[in-house]
Homo-oligomer: A and B are copies of this chain.
């Protein structure tokens, strides 16, 4: 029997993602996640080897969704590459502004988890790498279609992503969207100078 298995597992992952995105990894206990999910504690170790491995699975799941969204947006052929990219940043800003509880697990967990668990760190590293390379690819598309001025795509993609990560962190600390707006304005300048 696979369906129930997968459902329960996925349900635990999703519930945990919401809670952990709010409170962090170490400070949340399995109890909290499992009671919220309505899944008995005992089941946990049937689906996951340990909390660490669970965390890794959670991040993998997160990036899978994130990248799927990204691919959907970046493939929108009705828009120029520049417009698609602008839409990406705007969404980032909107999402973070909408609810105070962090959405971006890279910002939320990156610092905490990097020296705590190698598997989780590697998942974050690979996930962010994928994001940056997709941005770079879109920048190249934009240079080809003329909607983006010529730049070093890889370096620029990394710079922009770094900028937005930092902006998210500051926005989190300030509980304001202003740092993100600053990033947006700068991004606009950079991609159309």
A112 with B111, Cβ < 8 A, contacts A169-B165, A170-B162 known: yes
B residues in contact with A167, CB < 8 Å: 162, 166
A84 on the interface (CB 8 Å rule)? no
Question: Are B115 and A155 in contact, with the CB atoms below 8 A?
Answer: no
B residues in contact with A23, CB < 8 Å: 115-116
B residues in contact with A107, CB < 8 Å: 110-111, 169
Q: Which of B106, B112, B186 contacts A112 (CB 8 A)?
A: B112
Excluding A23-B116, A114-B172, A161-B166, 20 further A-B contacts by CB distance (< 8 Å) are: A24-B116, A27-B112, A27-B116, A110-B172, A110-B173, A111-B172, A112-B112, A114-B173, A125-B173, A155-B182, A155-B186, A158-B170, A162-B163, A162-B170, A162-B179, A163-B166, A165-B165, A165-B166, A165-B169, A166-B169
B residues in contact with A163, CB < 8 Å: 159, 162-163, 166
Q: A118's closest neighbor in chain B, by CB? A: B175
Per DSSP, are chain A's interface residues mostly helix, strand or loop, or mixed? helix
Q: A125's closest neighbor in chain B, by CB? A: B173
A102 on the interface (CB 8 Å rule)? yes
A sample of 28 cross-chain residue pairs with beta-carbon separation below 8 angstroms, ordered by A number, consists of A23-B116, A24-B111, A24-B112, A24-B116, A27-B112, A101-B115, A102-B114, A102-B115, A106-B169, A107-B110, A108-B112, A109-B111, A111-B169, A112-B112, A121-B173, A159-B163, A161-B170, A162-B162, A162-B164, A162-B167, A162-B170, A162-B183, A164-B166, A165-B166, A165-B170, A166-B166, A166-B169, A169-B169
